[in-house]
Amino acid sequence: MMTATTHRAIRDTRLVAILRSPDTDRLAAAAHVLVEEGVRVLEFPLTSPGALDALRHTVEVLDGRAVVGAGTVRTVDEAQRALDAGARFLVSPSLSVPVIEYAHAHDTAVLPGTFTPTEICTALEAGAELVKLFPAASHQPEFLRQLRVPLPEADVVPTGGVGLADAAAWLAAGAVALGVGSPLTGDTLETGDFAQLRVRARAWKAAVS
């Protein structure tokens, strides 16, 4: 049930905001701003120091208003720590079948990282309902359009280098959502300029609506 709810939130929002910073307070503040602007699916990559603390805080404070997950989850141990912190979904940079299996065993959505048709098929066969296409900047939207001809069941979330200008093209090619980091956050997490983040969030919401 929880997995289905998370998948629905990602599909409905069509945007996964990736928040990466060593400053835990700014991560939490950015999460608040994004949720206020309607961006309610948030990913905290484990490569950021304090990511789990920020994730835990966001889950507690924004309970019911945000769907919060962990990114850069490469091992079952990392998946376990993310779930212990309250993550509702797990995102990987590469294809890890053990992480997919662990997520399924704990009723948690998982977006494994894939790059090729073979990896996408393997992820789907392992039970992933959504797959992350990474890095999307190394592909074109036409790649996804062609991919979905033989694989119409592949629900793909392009991530990594997706800009505001090509958001519509990716969605038109069949993407169910977009994973977006710095093109959404700009330098807010370095400067603390949350007014800028609010403006960017509105632009992105308009682009995926």
For residue 14 the two structure tokens come to 């069509």
Strands 130-133 and 113-114: parallel
Q: According to the model, what pLDDT value does residue 123 have? A: 98
Asked if 205 is an active-site residue, the reply is no
Any bridge partners for residue 111, and if so which? 91
Q: Which helix (H) or strand (E) holds 53?
A: helix 51-61
Mean per-residue pLDDT for 7-12?
96
pLDDT per residue as tens digits for the range 10-51: 999 999 999 999 998 999 999 999 999 999 999 999 998 889
Candidates 148, 140, 71, 76; CA nearest to 111 is 71
pLDDT per residue as tens digits for the range 96-111: 999 999 999 999 999 9
Radius of gyration of the chain (CA): 16
Against a cut of 0.85, is the pTM above it? Answer: yes
Q: According to the model, what pLDDT value does residue 117 have? A: 97
Catalytic option among 125, 132, 190, 205: 132
pLDDT per residue as tens digits for the range 107-163: 999 999 999 999 999 999 999 999 999 999 999 999 999 999 999 999 999 999 999
Contacts of 196 (CB under 8 A, 6+ apart): 186, 187, 188
First to last CA, the chain: 26
Query: Helices (H), strands (E): how many in the chain?
Result: 11, 9
Q: According to the model, what pLDDT value does residue 139 have? A: 96
Catalytic option among 43, 78, 119, 205: 43
Q: How confident is the model at residue 1 (pLDDT cuts 50, 70, 90)?
A: low
Q: According to the model, what pLDDT value does residue 82 have? A: 98
For residue 197 the two structure tokens come to 């983040």
For residue 21 the two structure tokens come to 């910073």
Give dist(CA 32, CA 124) in Å, integer.
Answer: 33
